[in-house]
Amino acid sequence: MADTIELGKAKGGMAQAMVWMLVLSLLLFWIPVLGMLIAGMVGGRKAGSLGSALGAALLPALVVAVVMFFMATALTGMPILGVVAGFGGGVLVVANVVPLLAGAVVGGILAR
C-alpha cells in the first residue's frame, strides 16, 4: 500500500516545518524567548533533519529581512535613510530568530 508510513522514516519537510514554526510563534508570542524556542523545536522535529530544520528557521527570516530592507529604501525616497531603517528591521528579525534557530537545532537533532 502506498498510503502506509514506514516505521523510522521521517515525515514532513522544510515547507511543513516553516508553517509549524510560523503558526506556533504567532500563538506563543506572549512567552518572549520560550515561545520561539518551542516553535523551533516543533518545527525542527517536523523538518526531519538538522539541515532542513536550519533552512526552515533561517529562510523566512532572510526573506523578511531582505524585503524590509528594500521596502524601507523604496518608500523613504532617501536611499541612506532607507538603508538605516532596513538594517534596523534586519536586527529585529535576527533578534527574533536566535531562539527559533536554537530550538530548530534541538528539534532537528531529536528528529533522528
Please give the distance of CA 53 from its chain centroid, rounded to a whole number: 9
How does pLDDT run across 13-64, given as a tens digit for each residue?
Answer: 888 999 999 899 889 988 888 999 999 999 999 998 899 999 999 988 888 8
User: Between 34-47 and 79-110, two packed helices, what is the crossing angle to 10 degrees?
Assistant: 60
How does pLDDT run across 77-98, given as a tens digit for each residue?
Answer: 788 888 888 888 888 888 888 9
Instruction: Say which residues have a Cβ less than 8 Å from residue 75's Cβ, sequence separation at least 6.
Output: 82
How close are the terminal C-alpha atoms of the chain, in Å?
Answer: 25
pTM for this prediction: 0.76
Find where cell 535576527 sits. Answer: 94
**Confidence band of 9 (pLDDT split at 50, 70, 90):** low
Q: For residue 1, is pLDDT > 50?
A: no
How does pLDDT run across 94-109, given as a tens digit for each residue?
Answer: 888 899 999 999 999 9
The backbone torsions φ and ψ at residue 82, rounded to the nearest 5 degrees and listed phi first, read -65, -35
